[in-house]
């Protein structure tokens, strides 16, 4: 249950009184999500999402995240739009936390993603990349190569508690990626966490993208590598090339990939796999006793990493080398 901070009725009423939203009709904690406290807030003006930012979302990054949502919304991307209070300010404070009210998006995230969903996600990702091209704020990717090395240093002595040999495997992979990591691919703002639970659909129609709190500047094709890992493996660990082809085709219809981006995909997928393997491993090893949020399985991403280590080239993702 991702509600870390409880909000009293009095605090909430005083907070909402600063907006043109009428009075509060109900406010319920939302169980999904792990990073921040989220509430479904219903006022006389309808449903909204109230988010209180917890410790991992840094206060200094919020202008980038909120500015990006505004920028993308005005360019037709279906994402939450921060709502300003009567003084024109959207980023506020509630119960000692930075807090924001954003618009509510309808739809459900797909519990069983099909190739048609993957195609829509690919296209949406490309639209985000194009729409963000003239966004002026920047945020370096804190979870790039240097960030992975930091996480590894924090976890290496205990990684084998999760699976014997894991520490050496991670060390070897970082040594492999370090000198090969592509530095000069087309770059821009990426979502960096576009997992199924961050994409809403109504049937086959994509209705919204949420959770831009890892968004940053990095290689655009790296976002696709994150998407391939998150959407194109089955529960039994098998890679689904049909879904991958659908996602890549959907993307390329909106933003063509260069031959260099295509050639880099296997490496980018390895990088994306170790990124989620390491953050999950860190959370697994540092999970407070009795915490109500269950950490995600790091070993799922070890299986994905091993798959990518075995690919012979972009053809294994259903791609040819043409742009």
Ligand X SMILES: Nc1ncnc2c1ncn2[C@@H]1O[C@H](COP(=O)(O)OP(=O)(O)OP(=O)(O)O)[C@@H](O)[C@H]1O
Return residues touching ligand X (CB under 6 A). Answer: 2, 30, 32-36, 38, 49, 80, 102, 104-105, 197-198, 210-211, 213
- Does 129 help bind ligand HSE (rule: CB under 6 A)? no
Interaction partner, residue 144 (ligand HSE, ligand X, none; CB < 5-8 Å by kind): none
- Please count the other Cβ atoms lying within 10 Å of the Cβ belonging to residue 46: 12
Distance in Å, CB of 150 to ligand HSE, minimum? 17
Interaction partner, residue 210 (ligand X, ligand HSE, none; CB < 5-8 Å by kind): ligand X
Q: Between residues 43 and 229, which has the closer beta carbon with respect to ligand HSE?
A: 229
Tell me whether residue 239 is exposed, middle or buried, using C-beta atoms within 10 angstroms of its C-beta: 0 to 12, 13 to 18, 19 or more: buried
Distance in Å, CB of 63 to ligand X, minimum? 17
- Does 260 help bind ligand HSE (rule: CB under 6 A)? no
Give the chain's radius of gyration (CA, Å).
20
CA distance 36 to 247: 29
- Does 276 help bind ligand HSE (rule: CB under 6 A)? yes
Q: Between residues 193 and 218, which has the closer beta carbon with respect to ligand HSE?
A: 193
Task: Out of 120, 169, 193, 223, name the contact with ligand HSE by CB under 6 A.
Answer: 193
Please state the φ and ψ torsions of residue 174, each to the nearest 5 degrees: -65, -35
What is each CA distance from 43 to 20, 32, 287, in whole angstroms?
10, 21, 35
Q: Between residues 51 and 217, which has the closer beta carbon with respect to ligand X?
A: 51
Binding-site size, ligand HSE (CB under 6 A): 7
Distance in Å, CB of 33 to ligand X, minimum? 2
Q: Which stretch binds ligand HSE (CB under 6 A): 69-77, 85-93, 107-115, 276-284?
A: 276-284
- Does 280 help bind ligand HSE (rule: CB under 6 A)? yes
Interaction partner, residue 296 (ligand HSE, ligand X, none; CB < 5-8 Å by kind): ligand HSE
Q: Between residues 81 and 137, which has the closer beta carbon with respect to ligand X?
A: 81
- Does 296 help bind ligand HSE (rule: CB under 6 A)? yes
Interaction partner, residue 130 (ligand HSE, ligand X, none; CB < 5-8 Å by kind): none
Q: Between residues 194 and 305, which has the closer beta carbon with respect to ligand X?
A: 194
Whether the CB-CB separation of 191 and 223 falls below 8 Å is answered with: yes
What part of residues 7-36 is at the interface with ligand HSE (CB under 6 A)? 34
Interaction partner, residue 30 (ligand HSE, ligand X, none; CB < 5-8 Å by kind): ligand X
Q: Between residues 38 and 217, which has the closer beta carbon with respect to ligand X?
A: 38
Task: Out of 195, 299, 303, 306, name the contact with ligand HSE by CB under 6 A.
Answer: 195
What residues line the site for ligand HSE (CB under 6 A)? 34, 193, 195, 276, 279-280, 296
């Amino acid at each position: 249950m991702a509600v870390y901070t409880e909000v009293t009725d009095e605090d909430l009423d005083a907070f909402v009184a600063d907006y043109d939203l009428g009075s509060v009709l109900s406010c319920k904690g939302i169980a999904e999500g792990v990073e921040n406290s989220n509430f479904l807030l219903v006022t006389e003006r309808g449903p909204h999402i109230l988010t209180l930012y917890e410790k991992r979302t840094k206060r200094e990054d919020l202008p980038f995240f909120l500015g990006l949502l505004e920028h993308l919304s005005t360019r037709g991307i279906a994402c939450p739009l921060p709502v300003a209070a009567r003084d024109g300010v959207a980023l506020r404070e509630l119960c000692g936390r930075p807090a924001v009210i954003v618009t509510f998006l309808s739809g459900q995230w797909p519990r069983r993603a099909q190739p048609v969903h993957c195609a829509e996600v690919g296209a949406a990702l490309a639209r985000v990349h194009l729409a963000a091209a003239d966004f002026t704020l920047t945020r370096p990717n804190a979870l790039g190569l240097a960030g992975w090395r930091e996480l590894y240093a924090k976890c290496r002595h205990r990684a084998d508690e999760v699976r014997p040999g894991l520490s050496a495997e991670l060390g070897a992979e970082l040594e492999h990626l370090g000198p090969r990591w592509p530095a000069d691919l087309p770059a821009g703002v990426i979502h960096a966490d576009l997992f199924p639970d961050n994409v809403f659909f109504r049937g086959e129609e994509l209705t919204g993208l949420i959770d831009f709190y890892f968004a940053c500047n990095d290689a655009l094709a790296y976002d696709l590598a994150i998407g391939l890992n998150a959407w194109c493996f089955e529960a039994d660990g098998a890679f689904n090339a049909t879904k991958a082809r659908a996602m890549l085709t959907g993307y390329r219809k909106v933003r063509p990939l260069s031959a260099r981006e295509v050639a880099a995909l296997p490496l980018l997928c390895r990088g994306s796999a170790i990124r989620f393997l390491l953050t999950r491993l860190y959370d697994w090893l540092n999970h407070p006793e009795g915490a109500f949020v269950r950490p995600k399985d790091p070993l799922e991403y070890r299986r994905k990493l091993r798959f990518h280590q075995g690919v012979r080239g972009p053809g294994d993702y259903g791609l040819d080398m043409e742009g």
